[in-house]
Structure 1
Amino acid sequence: MSNSGLTAGIMNLYDQWNIQGFVILSLWLQTILILFAPLKKRTRNVIVVLLSLLAYLVADWAVSVAVGLITYSQKEVRDHHDSQKFPNDDYVGILAFWAPFLLLHHLPEQDNAGLWQRQFIGLLNRVFNGLTVFRQSLPRNKLSVPTILLFVAGTLKYGERTYALFQANLNKLRESMLRAPDPGPNYAKIMEVYYGRKAAKLPIDIELIRDTMRIAPYAVDEDRLDELAAVRHAYHFFEIFKGLILDLILSFREREESRQFFYRRTPRDAFNVIAIELNFMYEVFYTKAVVVHLMFGHLVVRLISWCAVVAALSIFCTIDKHNFRKIDVEISYTLFFGAIGLDTITLFKLAFSDWTAASIQSLSTENRWKKFWKASIYRCFLPLHKYFLILKKINWCENTESIRWLGRARQFLFRRWSESLHQYNLIEYCLKDRFERIWIYPIVELGLKDFYDWMTYVSKKPFTKELWVFIFGQLEKKSKLADDPDTAKRICSARGAWVLQVSNCSKLMSYVVDVDYDQSLLIWHVATELCYSTTDEVNNSGPNHREFCKILSDYMLYLLVMQPTMMSAVAGLGQIRFRDTCAEAKKFFKRKVPQQGGLEEHKMACEMILRVNTDIRPVDLKGDRSKSVLFDACILAKNLEELKGEKWQLMCEVWVELLSYAASHCRATDHVAQLSKGGELITFVWLLMAHFGLGDHFELNEGHTTAKLIMGK
């Protein structure tokens, strides 16, 4: 067959099946979005992220093309009556019948809550195009009734998504949290009375009364929290601490309530509560939870939409279809069962969500009618709901064969975040990247160097229970020292100095006080790597501080280098210092370290750095043109070695301070943005610090001051 004949055959095949192909493609893209889009908060797997992004980008295009093809084909049938291509007028009716399915299939993601205006215009456009297609099929459209039912279902669901985008923005959330305006005491009236009696030379005085609030203890009776109790407490604190995202100041009472609750919790229960609380924040900003869990969204929209689709399917089954092509009928049934199946999946996810569990816990506070219908729906599957909540909990240190398969299943289906920490090591990067490679130039020219580095040099380590227990203990200890918000603010401003001061290590103070944060982080990162790679100390009797240092060090460098947006508030010249340090390290390794690969090469590189004589400070010899901190870190590592066995715990506590400093200074909106990308440990630390009352987002004083007029006789 010639090329022209092959091309003609392909074009003919496209002309015959283009509409059917795009309609089925739209269904498949909808399926991918529903199944894979939520996985982005559980994993940073590149394939999953790219698949979801590609499906989202293609979905809108596929819907637009399908609607355009349907409109053009209907016009062609009316104008040319091509009986070979379009056997009868019923083909026009079935094309109009497929149009509302595209409303059901169009699922915009909610990564930017400011796009609700565009989605509203999209809704009007889709409805107008659908009505145009439907009008062109009249008056001989025997599928008019099921088509109208599908239009009702599609318009309701598209409208629900648009309204969710409208609600999921910072301004709306801020309005919902602002208390009623409080004008305070009637100043004008008080002053009128005061000076009136003064003028009449009558005795009067103003007394300031301090109204101290009594802190009502929050319910903390449970020594250990079961799954439903954890959801109840998480929702309670979510309603309070979502104000952090809006830069609102929380009250002294809310601070004390939270502190007392978390003091009574084990580190594991505290982590579970925080994970659920962050999941609520994620769903408010990145899903339709705001709408779905309202009475209207939860009952009316879901019920009407589902019933309309089922009714349309029932009517379609009873209609005489002998004039329709068999393939078109089969595609119609596929679209029906796909829509019902996807609705069922969505309903299943809704039924076993954390919001539903929170609703179960609120039965006692609602009126009798709400109690009745919620109890009837929820109580019947309460045991099953508890089982799914167990699957969502983080699975720490359980490696037995009996549950390993379950761990792999929940990894993508149930867990609330990625449960891992990314690692990025400066020494390892410089050893691998010290020799120029010609094939890397096109990657640099295309602007893909950061992506290449992320794929090549970033690794992951599981987040362990022992590391969380250590971080929790450090923050809890500092919280108990911070009796008032002013002291808490000063503690949060420490980035290693507090630990060194308590440990009487004034010799090391200059590496955290006299340098910028990003400079301090790089110095401590390289020093940690030098100490770690040149010693083989193992501690089997307690916390493995050496491993904690390594994990936190590589994790913080990953944030500084690979997450510059998140660290922008504290990064300073971080990127410049990192590049200069890498340049000096590569130059040194080319001359001193033979290329052999593996751990031996890494260990040799660290040993060679430590052998350099550092009697003269690098800044005194090189000046300040280069921002490299390689040999400043070498000096710090030598000072740390003098501490012998005490150095690992000290270094670990310094790393927790560096982590908590970054967490408290990172913008709240950046923390929330990470929830849709797999989550980060720094976000958990940020919220734990807030629950412990550490930070500058609380009222400084307890209670309020009011004035009282005291009149003498």
Structure 2
Amino acid sequence: ALGFLSRHEDSLGGTHLLAFFWAPFLLIHLGGQDTITAFSIEDNNLWLRHLLNLVVQVALALYVFWRSIGEHNMHLLAPGIFLFVSGIIKYVERTIALMYGGLENMRNSIGDLEEFEVRPYPDYSGYSGIVRCALLSALYVRHVFAGSTIFQTGPISKRMHFNACQGRYSKLEMRKLLEVELGIMYGDLYTKAMVLRTRSGTIFRCISQVSTVIALVLFFLASSSNKQQGRYSRADVAITYVLFVGGIFLDICAVFILMTSPWTWDRLKGYNNVLGRVSWYFLSSNIGWTESRPLWSNSMGRYSLLRWLEGSSNSSDQPRLSGSCKQLIKMMAEKMMGLVCSTSSKKGKLFWLSTLLDTKYTQVDSEVMDNVVQFICDLVREIRHHTAAGRGTVSWPCLGEVLLSKLKVEIKVEFAHAIVRLHVFTELHLTRRSSSYGREISEEATKLAEVCRKLSNYMMYLLAVHPEVLPVTGKFDDVTLPSDRLISALGPDDEYGIQPCYDTLKNIRDMWILFLAYAAG
């Protein structure tokens, strides 16, 4: 649009006299909404490219405005200047937010948060206490995202209150604490939150909003004067007012979004109780971060390798497509691939089809979350009491020495191999021994077996669909084997002599959670 205006400013002058005046509006909307600055983490890492876009597009907009302004429309100079102030500020906000959200700059920008360090509170009970605890740990969480380990955070980690390990928070409250912490981190990475909660960011945002209102008033006075009446077409005037109203509406929404921020609530509660209560009302209502609504998608991907290798489902879940339909698609794809590739490479070439047909998503239930939270809290408690797993206090006696020794070697060599081996072992163990856990604990064993299967399928989903988030090398089909070799790699039907019991399920669950924690790191 800016390029079009720069090429046609002369021809537009006779028919659309207000067209050049729309250039600064483009800058306002190029600055984006407060709720999104990046679509992915790569956008943050490429913030210098956005900075280049900022310089070029601002220069082009100024060029269009300068070439088109003249004696006949000097009355638009003042509102145009105020619009440029608003547009440049918003565009700069977005660029700085992208810079702060870049992984390489995250560690350097951590110091900017120390100015807004959250004051400790004596009471951490209730949902407000959970939000306060999340704010208190925000700097620590940002260090973790920046690549620091728990032991490298030093004194920062001491500010964080491990309420769960002290028995202060229940499992449900710990899950909500995790949601709020990740919600704060999401705002730092993908929105303008980190810029707007700084003192300078707040001041410039106020200047931007006031400039837009002043520009609207000046344009109204200029366009409604007797000298200018009838000079502009009604359509162009209407479009200009729509642009003004749209920009001001976004500013009003930005104020509401800012009021729903936990950081705003923390600041206002320290200065004015009335504003603090208003902010908490917005924060805890349905338009904000209500306690009852999950603050994330609350879903997890699931992929079973044996569905693809064996052509059937070993899980109790129903696949997306019927078995006959999937078999027909597989057969047609194999026929087509057989015309262009050899039989040996057919399996790898068709793996992408499996990720489409066999991948599904399911809700993360309380059983999975409670097991993960409880295990992590127990592990943290052991670390704090100097009995970390690395010192040999955690063991899996029910998994057998043969399986553990192979997993230990594969984790050091290639983590993907360990995931595949444990995944197939879990699927075969749960399938072959599904009716061997005894009636007295059948309900508990069924729940725990489902947790093991979900964690197993989730790790396989990450490996198959999103290997870039795991510490693995190469492609996934490089570590998969044909069906008979992969299943036989686990040994005979006795599965390394591992007996089906409730403790075996617990060991499988704990091993998967450790895999999950290792991948998260």
TM-score range, shorter chain: 0.7 to 0.9
TM-score, scaled to structure 1: 0.58
Q: Which has the larger radius of gyration?
A: 1
- Aligned AA (1:74): E
**Is the alpha carbon distance of 1:438 and 1:273 closer, same or farther for their aligned partners in structure 2, counting shifts above 3 Å?**
same
Q: CA deviation at 1:275?
A: 1.9
Q: CA deviation at 1:437?
A: 3.4
Q: Which of these residues, 345, 353, 357, is aligned with residue 265 of structure 2?
A: 357
Task: Work out the CA distance in 2 between the residues paired with 1:643 and 1:344.
Answer: 61
Q: CA deviation at 1:545?
A: 0.7
Moved more, 514-523 or 289-298: 514-523
Give the corresponding residue for 1:74.
9
Give the corresponding residue for 2:188.
284
Give the corresponding residue for 2:490.
633
Residues 300, 364 of structure 2: 8 Å contact kept? yes
Moved more, 538-547 or 289-298: 538-547
**Is the alpha carbon distance of 1:240 and 1:641 closer, same or farther for their aligned partners in structure 2, counting shifts above 3 Å?**
closer
Give secondary structure in 2 for the equivalent of 1:539.
helix
Q: Which of these residues, 358, 362, 377, is aligned with residue 461 of structure 1?
A: 362
- Alignment map for 1:282-321 (pairs within 5 Å): 282-298=186-202, 300-318=203-221, 319-320=223-224, 321=229
Q: CA deviation at 1:553?
A: 0.9
Give the corresponding residue for 1:500.
396
Task: Work out the CA distance in 1 between the residues paired with 2:419 and 2:355.
Answer: 20
Q: Does 1:477 align with 2:378?
A: yes
Q: CA deviation at 1:286?
A: 2.3
Give the corresponding residue for 2:469.
566
Residues 227, 389 of structure 1: 8 Å contact kept? no
Give secondary structure in 2 for the equivalent of 1:140.
helix
Give the corresponding residue for 2:64.
133
**Is the alpha carbon distance of 1:161 and 1:508 closer, same or farther for their aligned partners in structure 2, counting shifts above 3 Å?**
closer
Residues 12, 19 of structure 2: 8 Å contact kept? no
Give secondary structure in 1 for the equivalent of 2:442.
coil
Task: Work out the CA distance in 2 between the residues paired with 1:483 and 1:159.
Answer: 44
- Alignment map for 1:223-262 (pairs within 5 Å): 225-248=125-148, 249-251=152-154, 254=157, 258-259=161-162, 262=165
Q: CA deviation at 1:259?
A: 4.0
Task: Work out the CA distance in 2 between the residues paired with 1:452 and 1:394.
Answer: 38
Q: Which of these residues, 426, 429, 450, is aligned with residue 528 of structure 1?
A: 426
Give the corresponding residue for 2:23.
99
Residues 303, 458 of structure 2: 8 Å contact kept? yes
Give the corresponding residue for 2:317.
none
Q: What runs of 5+ residues in structure 1 fail to find an aligned partner?
A: 1-65, 79-85, 180-217, 364-370, 396-414, 589-627, 665-713
Give the corresponding residue for 1:552.
455
**Is the alpha carbon distance of 1:139 and 1:130 closer, same or farther for their aligned partners in structure 2, counting shifts above 3 Å?**
farther
- Cα deviation digits, residues 185-237 of structure 1 (max 9, x gap): xxxxxxxxxxxxxxxxxxxxxxxxxxxxxxxxx86755xx4222111111111
Q: Which of these residues, 121, 127, 149, is aligned with residue 52 of structure 2?
A: 121
Residues 518, 573 of structure 1: 8 Å contact kept? no
Give the corresponding residue for 1:269.
173
Q: CA deviation at 1:555?
A: 0.6
Give the corresponding residue for 1:58.
none
Q: CA deviation at 1:155?
A: 1.5
**Is the alpha carbon distance of 1:226 and 1:452 closer, same or farther for their aligned partners in structure 2, counting shifts above 3 Å?**
farther
Task: Work out the CA distance in 1 between the residues paired with 2:352 and 2:72.
Answer: 56
- Cα deviation digits, residues 544-576 of structure 1 (max 9, x gap): 1110111011011112222221113xx357735
- Aligned AA (1:155): I
Q: CA deviation at 1:636?
A: 6.9
Give the corresponding residue for 1:383.
281
Moved more, 117-126 or 282-291: 117-126
Residues 400, 498 of structure 2: 8 Å contact kept? no
Give secondary structure in 2 for the equivalent of 1:643.
coil
Give secondary structure in 2 for the equivalent of 1:314.
helix
Give the corresponding residue for 2:320.
none
Moved more, 544-553 or 473-482: 473-482
Q: Does 1:650 align with 2:507?
A: yes
- Cα deviation digits, residues 258-303 of structure 1 (max 9, x gap): 44664322112122222222222222222222211112222x2222
Residues 157, 305 of structure 1: 8 Å contact kept? yes
Residues 275, 416 of structure 1: 8 Å contact kept? yes
Give secondary structure in 2 for the equivalent of 1:629.
helix
Q: CA deviation at 1:514?
A: 4.5
Give secondary structure in 2 for the equivalent of 1:579.
coil
Task: Work out the CA distance in 1 between the residues paired with 2:494 and 2:191.
Answer: 47
Q: Which of these residues, 302, 306, 330, is aligned with residue 427 of structure 1?
A: 306
Task: Work out the CA distance in 1 between the residues paired with 2:427 and 2:368.
Answer: 18
Give secondary structure in 2 for the equivalent of 1:475.
helix
Give secondary structure in 1 for the equivalent of 2:301.
strand
Give the corresponding residue for 1:164.
97
Give secondary structure in 2 for the equivalent of 1:280.
helix
- Aligned AA (1:158): Y
- Aligned AA (2:137): F
- Aligned AA (1:306): Q
Give the corresponding residue for 1:42.
none
Taking only aligned residues, the RMSD between alpha carbons, in angstroms, comes to 3.6
**Is the alpha carbon distance of 1:652 and 1:166 closer, same or farther for their aligned partners in structure 2, counting shifts above 3 Å?**
closer
Q: What runs of 5+ residues in structure 2 fail to find an aligned partner?
A: 113-119, 312-325, 436-440
Give secondary structure in 2 for the equivalent of 1:143.
helix
- Cα deviation digits, residues 496-534 of structure 1 (max 9, x gap): x94324x58446433433544433322221122223334
- Cα deviation digits, residues 109-153 of structure 1 (max 9, x gap): 334334343333333322322222222221211433322221121
Q: Which of these residues, 334, 337, 340, is aligned with residue 437 of structure 1?
A: 334
Q: Percent identity?
A: 23
Task: Work out the CA distance in 2 between the residues paired with 1:567 and 1:484.
Answer: 29
- Aligned AA (1:121): L
Task: Work out the CA distance in 2 between the residues paired with 1:69 and 1:559.
Answer: 45
- Aligned AA (1:461): T
Q: Which of these residues, 142, 146, 162, is aligned with residue 79 of structure 2?
A: 146
Task: Work out the CA distance in 2 between the residues paired with 1:117 and 1:390.
Answer: 32
Residues 140, 160 of structure 2: 8 Å contact kept? no
Q: CA deviation at 1:162?
A: 2.4
Q: CA deviation at 1:469?
A: 1.5
Residues 167, 173 of structure 1: 8 Å contact kept? yes
**Is the alpha carbon distance of 1:474 and 1:250 closer, same or farther for their aligned partners in structure 2, counting shifts above 3 Å?**
same
**Is the alpha carbon distance of 1:462 and 1:96 closer, same or farther for their aligned partners in structure 2, counting shifts above 3 Å?**
same
